[in-house]
Structure 1
Amino acid sequence: MSKSFMSDRLQILHYARHKFFKSLLLVLSVSMYPGLWSIGVQLHSAFTGSYAPGHHSLLLINSPNELAAKDIGRVIMERRLAASINILARTSTMYYWKGEIQDASEVLMLVKTKTSRIQQVMDFVRSVHPYANPEVLSFLVEDGSLAYMKWMDEAIPDD
């Protein structure tokens, strides 16, 4: 075999081993103690320069008015359960409640947080929200600005 062939083969093996260990690192961190998930994601991002989908989430929370939304949002921020909250202008909403179609106006909150914090946010919202059955929907963030995601990690302490 030629030296060039052997050199190419060694480079391929080195690359494959490098990719394997990066993937193994992420898998191990996910499967171990949940607190290691955040560290694993940060290491994955550092090694690959990419975002690990699902580490962050966006929650939609409706409130009856701006005051309720701001009160709920302020405590979420004070407890450092979210990196950022947008409170959007009043919107029209229609929904079924007790078999009847309701037509109302609400204020929508967009809560940006770590996926590991969703349950804490939902528990808090349920405990203080004026609605008997508050709307709290979460969506995993699949991709986004790596710098923004890093800022979110810094803004929200680990569990």
Structure 2
Amino acid sequence: MILIYTTFPDLESAKKVVKLLLEKKLIGCANIREHKALYWWEGKIEEDDEIGVIIKTKNEKWEEVKKVIKENHPYSTPLIMKIDVDDVNIEYLKWLDEVVE
């Protein structure tokens, strides 16, 4: 199992991409959270509201999920981060295996 973390400018674009990934059965679940982002962009510090998304899927789906996110993401330079999961309860892994094809 892996987690994939990405961010979006608004809830609508985040939900659009998450629903697409769910419909393609590439992921089992995603958590969507609003937060404040401060970052460097074009030589200055920016501050924006942003939507963070934590995606749960199988390791073997990483490349395909990354591709779908890139193709449908509104940012020109999106963050798409893979986080390896060292340990997780077996019941969750069984569920994830059942819902991700």
TM-score range, shorter chain: over 0.9
Q: 1:128, CA displacement in angstroms?
A: 1.1
Correspondence list, 1:57-72, <5 A: 57-72=2-17
Judging by fraction of residues, say which structure has more strand.
2
Question: For residue 96 of structure 1, what is the aligned residue in structure 2?
Answer: 40
CA shift for structure 1 position 121: 0.9
Q: State the alpha-carbon separation in 2 of the partners of residues 58 and 73 from structure 1.
A: 13
Could you say which residue in structure 1 is the equivalent of 2:53?
109
Structure-2-length-normalised TM-score: 0.95
Partner in structure 2 of residue 129 of structure 1: 73
State the shift of 1:97 in Å. Answer: 1.4
More helix by share: 1
Equivalent residue for 2:30, pick from 53, 69, 85: 85
Larger relative contact order (C-alpha < 8 A, sep ≥ 6)?
2
Residue-pair matches, total: 101
Match for residue 19 of structure 2?
Answer: 74
Unpaired segments of 5 or more residues in structure 1? 1-55
Specify the structure having the higher radius of gyration (Cα).
1
CA distance in 2, matches of 1:105, 1:136: 18
**Which moves more between the two structures, 59-68 or 96-105?**
96-105
Give 5+ residue unaligned stretches, structure 2. none
- Are 2:40 and 1:118 equivalent residues in the alignment? no
Separation in 2 of the partners of 1:153 and 1:140?
Answer: 16
Return structure 1 stretches of 4+ with deviation > 4 angstroms.
none
Aligned CA RMSD, in angstroms, stands at: 0.8
Measure how far apart 1:154 and its partner are: 1.1
